[in-house]
Amino acid sequence: MTEKHSKYESGCPVAYALDIFGDRWSLLVIRDMAVKGARTYGELQNGWEGISTNILAQRLKQLEEAGILSKSKDPENGRSYIYALTQKGRDLAPVLADIALWSARYNKAGHAMTGFSDKVQADRDGVVARIRAGELP
pLDDT digits (tens, 9 = 90+) for 45-56: 997 788 999 999
Asked whether residue 118 is domain-assigned, the answer is yes
pLDDT digits (tens, 9 = 90+) for 71-82: 999 999 889 999
Domain co-membership, 98 together with 66: no
Range(s) of the domain holding residue 102: 92-137
Asked whether residue 72 is domain-assigned, the answer is yes
Question: 73: which strand partners?
Answer: 81
Q: What pLDDT band is residue 1 in, cutting at 50, 70 and 90?
A: very low
Do the beta carbons of residue 40 and residue 83 sit within 8 Å? yes
Question: 71: which strand partners?
Answer: 83
Domain co-membership, 69 together with 28: yes
Mean pLDDT of 128-133: 95
Q: Is pLDDT above 80 for 15?
A: yes
Domain co-membership, 81 together with 17: yes
What is the count of structural domains for the chain?
Answer: 2
Asked whether residue 1 is domain-assigned, the answer is no
Asked whether residue 61 is domain-assigned, the answer is yes
